[in-house]
Amino acid sequence: MAGCKPKTEAESDSSKQAALVSGGKKIKVAIDPITRIEGHLKVEVEIKDNVVSDARIFGGMYRGFEQILIGRDPRDATQITQRICGVCPTAHATASALALDDAFGITLTPNGRIARNLILGANFLQSHILHFYHLAALDYVNGPDVAPFVPRYAKNDVRVSKEINEEAVKQYLEALEMRKICHEMLALLGGKMPHVQGIMVGGTTEIPTREALNLYAEKFKVVKKFVMEKYIPLVYLLAGPYGDLLKTGGGYKNCVAWGVFPMDDAGNTLLKRGVYTDGKDYPVDVSLIKEYVKYSFFDDSTTGLNPRQGKTVPDVNKKDAYSFIKAPRYNGKPHEGGPLARMWVTNPELSKTGQEKLGVKRMRDIGDAAFSVLGRHVARAEETAMVADAVELWLSQAQPGKETFVPSPIPDSAEGLGLTEAPRGALLHYVDIKDKKIANYQITSATIWNANPMDDMGQRGPMEQALIGIPVPDPANPVNVGRLIRSFDP
């Protein structure tokens, strides 16, 4: 349950544990499960001198969709892969469709491209609102003493004023309605939500009518007003009382972004494709992606493979393994994915509110503070505003009654790669077709880039590394550990 007392090695009271930590001894604290996230995750941290000195992230669920897909009609993939995640099925449908477009040799119609953007854009807006208000906000404000606001840590370090707290709780409830509206927007063009039927190889199944586009636009105005007038200002309000959280949780400061929301037929995207490693920008070279499994419950013979050669061979009794998550690396190094990575690679102008509050113009002007617990929330809020502006543009470009689908036969043999972004990070789907059936399918999900375990070279995963140095004044109430993990939206 949210806020339950974590397991510790010693069943002693919090003051005694704090004395142990400040006295230079190490103790371990495990939180299992991590709550207010999608999926199954455990964290175990080692604390010394009241800060995290070591960390392990445990992914406890085997999914195996790669095996489920073998032998199926390739066109099934856009539907089946959506079941990977109840929060971002739209992104999986998009990545799968892109991989199939590539394999089938399809170029979308302009209206098909715009329709997909409007579908995925509605999901981005919904997901970011969901994450901040209903998953992360309770790390910073207190609701009434009723579910879902309780249970919570006895000492949960809430620092906001009573007025801000009350306003945040009010917005929490409003955000439930905003999410519903975003789902309705998506369903107008995508068929239904959470699992979309309207995205498929060749485009979308629904030709947008003027009525549908007008209704989408009407609903969208309500959502954008909430984003600009409530969500973004509230995120910046937290920077006052929680300013210290702009100085911790940096991690490796390496970023991967595959690009998302194509703006034209030339492949230019709203949020750009690129890699940022050790302070330098690089173009994406897919051949430099490799997945390692030394500490993952997969057979060692599958380690160090590019997704195009990837294999999914579980080994549940593997010695020293501690996660069902593989460890992807770009050019041999861990990289963070997600809103911060995308905004850092793209480096767009901040919203008017952001520029006024921070006194800077662009994302990279924030500097190292961007790579922090609160910095990730700022990046996510700013990205939400950016996507909202783009939705307005796509609505003006959409053509009622114009075709959104390009038919094509299933190839006898072909390969396809789909690179896009889920709200929480870089997403890759790969398909290999033989005899008109799926022979191999590989998925590098968004959270895999962040929540992975150590690799074969002994490098921690990005979330594990970002936990190092996180303050834990009271091991019985490790609030900052949860804050850091949820800042990644795993």
Sequence spans of domains, the chain: 65-247+391-442
Q: Rg of the Cα trace of the chain?
A: 22
For residues 464 and 445, give the distance between their C-alpha atoms in angstroms, rounded to a whole number. 18
Six-digit token pair at 276? 């940022």
Tens of pLDDT along 45-103?
999 999 999 999 999 999 999 999 999 999 999 999 999 988 889 999 999 999 999 99
Number of Cβ within a 10 Å radius of residue 326: 27
Six-digit token pair at 209? 């009518």
The answer to whether 425 and 446 have CB atoms below 8 angstroms apart is yes
**Beta bridge mates, 330:** 289, 333
The answer to whether 30 and 8 have CB atoms below 8 angstroms apart is yes
**Which superfamily is assigned to 65-247+391-442 in CATH?**
Cytochrome-c3 Hydrogenase, chain B (1.10.645.10)
Helix (H, G, I), strand (E, B) or coil at 203: strand
Cβ-Cβ contacts under 8 Å for 477 (sequence gap 6 or more)? 14, 153, 154, 155, 156, 157
The answer to whether 84 and 63 have CB atoms below 8 angstroms apart is yes
Q: Provide the residue type at 172 as one letter.
A: Y
Helix (H, G, I), strand (E, B) or coil at 117: helix
Residue 4: per-residue pLDDT:
41
Tens of pLDDT along 387-423?
999 999 999 999 999 999 999 999 999 999 999 999 9
Residue 85: per-residue pLDDT:
86
Six-digit token pair at 357? 């509050």
Residue 39: per-residue pLDDT:
85
Residue 118: per-residue pLDDT:
98
Six-digit token pair at 451? 């929540």
Low-confidence ranges of the chain (pLDDT < 70): 1-23
The answer to whether 27 and 42 have CB atoms below 8 angstroms apart is no
Residue 23: per-residue pLDDT:
61
Phi, psi of 32 (to 5 degrees): -150, 110
DSSP 298: B
Cβ-Cβ contacts under 8 Å for 216 (sequence gap 6 or more)? 118, 122, 185, 188, 189, 395
